[in-house]
Structure 1
Amino acid sequence: MRIKDIERRSFYLRLIYALCLCGATWTHLQVALVHGLSWDYGGAAPMTRIYWTSLLFIDPLTALLLLLIPGAGLILCVAVIVTDVVHNSWFALHHPIRMDLYLSQIVFLLFVAFTVRTAWRGAASRSAALRAFD
């Protein structure tokens, strides 16, 4: 496969990741607009409240990095979706959750897990090509 094809696939995957993170940002923004940044999420533990509120800022930052600094964006994207699914799985053991949102996170995690290698390869080859011009 040509390097340009790998870079193009990487870009499209990163764009899909970024759009999904923008959707998640919208969800967190709606919560913040309705309840404020200091909402306790119906009595959730302090670390859960901090984590969920922080995603309002981390998700769009990750989306931006995916497009501007792909390597950092991919690392952060994987970290965000893994911690989100792990945290929400733990939370779901003790509290009712919105199953549609939870399942969408699992689907996104699986999509990232199965495609991140391609996204990484294309981002890495793009970085190498840019360094050649320095």
Structure 2
Amino acid sequence: MRIANSVRRSFYLRLIYALCLCGATWTHLQVALIHGLGWDYGGAAPLTQIYWTSLLFIDPLTVLLLLLSPRAGLILCVAVIFTDVVHNSWFALHYPIRLDLYVSQIAFLLFVAFTVRTAWRGAASRAAAPRAAD
């Protein structure tokens, strides 16, 4: 029963992470639909342009991995939100940013940081989802 609870908690945490990353994907998709994939983000540095545009593809990949290959998804999730907050913190020192999006990224990073250990413990190498009988 304890293992089933651990698996269930991991699945629900990964589902929350995935939903947050779906929201981020939506944000990046809106930018791409309005400005195109080659947009320079108002004159941002080339590496910033590449990083932000790449998130349109990396975020949904992370969602898929969180659900289909949990441990790989968790590793990528931590990497994505950590690099996003570090990059955007650097960017905010030089340019104005949307504070609401920035604060939500920091909140997501803190949530992941405080819960990823629980999500990792219950994640099997294959998709760990609660069964209806549990």
If the TM-score is normalised by the length of the shorter chain, which range does it land in?
over 0.9
Query: What is the CA-CA distance between 1:90 and the residue it aligns to?
Result: 0.1
| Residue in structure 2 matched with residue 127 of structure 1 by the alignment | 125
Assess if the C-alpha contact under 8 Å between 2:69 and 2:125 holds in 1: no
Aligned to 2:54: 54
State the AA in 1 paired with 2:32: A
Q: 2:56, 2:125 → 1: CA distance?
A: 29
Identity, % of aligned positions: 85
> For structure 2, which runs of at least 5 residues remain unmatched after alignment?
129-134
Q: Deviations over 1:52-74 (max 9, x none)?
A: 00000000000010000001000
Letter in 2 for 1:91: F
Matched with 1:25 is 25
- In structure 1, stretches of 5+ residues that fail to align are none
2:107 corresponds to: 107
Aligned position for 2:94? 94
How many pairs align? 127
Following TM superposition, by how much is the alpha carbon of 1:79 offset from its aligned partner in structure 2, in angstroms? 0.1
Q: TM-score, structure 1 length as denominator? A: 0.92
1:76 alignment partner in structure 2: 76
The 2-side partners of 1:127 and 1:53 are apart by 30
Deviation at 1:127, TM superposition (A): 3.4
1:42 corresponds to which residue? 42
More helix by share: 1
Separation in 1 of the partners of 2:90 and 2:4? 41
Alignment partners' CA distance in 1, 2:109 and 2:49: 22
Alignment TM-score, normalising by the size of structure 2: 0.92
CA deviation profile, 1:27-61 (whole Å, cap 9, x unmatched):
00000000000000000000000000000000000
Distance 2:55 2:3 in 1: 34
The Cα RMSD (Å) is 1.3
